C-alpha cells in the first residue's frame, strides 16, 4: 500500500504535470514584472482604479506639512505602472526627459521590495538599463565580489 501511495505522489509531481512543469509562457520565479503572468481583468481594473484614486488624493494632500501626499501619489503610480502599459510608457518617457528623476528613482530602488524594483526596471529607459547591466558586470568581475578577498598588490 505504501508503494502505491509513493507512486501516486511521484506521479503528481512529475514534470509532465502542467502545474509543476515550467511552461514557456510562465515566468521563472523572480522574473521581471513585464514578463509576469497576466492578471485577471477584474483585478487589473480594481488596481488601476485604486491607482488613479490614490494619485488624485495624493495630489490633493501634497501641500500638507506631513508627506502623506507624496506617499499616496507614489503608491498610486506604482499600481498604475504595474497594470497599465500606458502608465509604464508615460513613466519611461518622463524618466528619459528628466535624468535627475531617473537617477533618484534608481537610487531609491535599491531600498524597495523586489516587486517594486521589477516595476521600476520595467519603466526604465534603455540607456538606464544598459548602464545598470554594465554596473552589474563590473561589480561581478571586481575583486572582492562574490565573497572573494581583495588581493593586495604588495603580496607576491
Task: Give me the pLDDT at residue 143, please.
Answer: 55
Whether residues 112 and 100 share a domain: the answer is yes
Whether residues 72 and 97 share a domain: the answer is no
Whether residues 45 and 70 share a domain: the answer is yes
Task: Give me the pLDDT at residue 1, please.
Answer: 47
In the chain, what's the furthest Cα-to-Cα distance? 71
125, part of any domain: yes
In a structure prediction context, what are the per-residue pLDDT tens digits for the chain, which is 156 residues long?
444 444 444 444 444 444 444 444 434 334 444 455 677 889 999 999 999 999 999 999 988 888 898 899 999 999 999 989 999 999 999 999 999 988 998 898 889 898 888 888 888 888 888 887 777 777 665 555 444 444 444 554
Whether residues 72 and 90 share a domain: the answer is no
Task: Give me the pLDDT at residue 81, please.
Answer: 92
142, part of any domain: no
Strand, helix or coil at 115? helix
Whether residues 74 and 100 share a domain: the answer is no
Q: What is the total count of domains within the chain?
A: 2
- 62: which residues sit within 8 A by CB, 6+ positions away? 69, 70, 73
Comparing C-alpha atoms, which of 52, 59, 62 is closest to residue 86? 52
Task: Give me the pLDDT at residue 56, please.
Answer: 96
- 48: which residues sit within 8 A by CB, 6+ positions away? 79, 80, 83, 84
Whether residues 55 and 95 share a domain: the answer is no
> Which structural domain range is residue 112 located in?
85-134
47, part of any domain: yes
Task: Give me the pLDDT at residue 65, please.
Answer: 85
Comparing C-alpha atoms, which of 155, 154, 105 is closest to residue 129? 105
Task: Give me the pLDDT at residue 28, please.
Answer: 39
28, part of any domain: no
152, part of any domain: no
Whether residues 75 and 94 share a domain: the answer is no
Whether residues 129 and 92 share a domain: the answer is yes
26, part of any domain: no
Q: How does DSSP classify residue 125? A: -
Whether residues 99 and 126 share a domain: the answer is yes
Residue 96, CB-side half-sphere exposure with 13 Å CA sphere: 11
Give the predicted TM-score (pTM) of the model: 0.59
Amino acid at each position: 500500500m505504501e508503494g502505491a501511495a509513493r507512486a501516486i505522489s511521484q506521479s503528481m509531481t512529475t514534470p509532465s504535470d502542467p502545474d509543476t512543469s515550467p511552461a514557456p509562457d510562465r515566468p521563472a520565479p523572480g522574473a521581471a514584472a513585464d514578463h509576469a503572468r497576466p492578471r485577471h481583468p477584474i483585478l487589473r481594473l480594481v488596481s488601476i482604479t485604486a491607482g488613479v484614486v490614490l494619485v488624485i488624493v495624493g495630489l490633493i494632500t501634497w501641500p500638507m506639512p506631513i508627506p502623506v501626499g507624496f506617499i499616496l501619489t507614489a503608491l498610486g503610480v506604482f499600481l498604475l505602472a504595474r497594470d497599465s502599459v500606458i502608465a509604464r510608457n508615460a513613466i519611461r518617457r518622463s524618466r528619459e526627459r528628466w535624468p535627475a528623476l531617473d537617477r533618484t528613482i534608481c537610487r531609491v530602488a535599491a531600498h524597495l521590495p523586489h516587486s517594486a524594483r521589477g516595476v521600476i526596471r520595467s519603466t526604465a529607459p534603455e540607456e538606464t538599463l544598459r548602464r545598470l547591466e554594465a554596473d552589474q558586470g563590473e561589480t561581478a568581475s571586481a575583486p572582492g565580489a562574490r565573497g572573494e578577498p581583495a588581493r593586495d598588490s604588495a603580496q607576491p
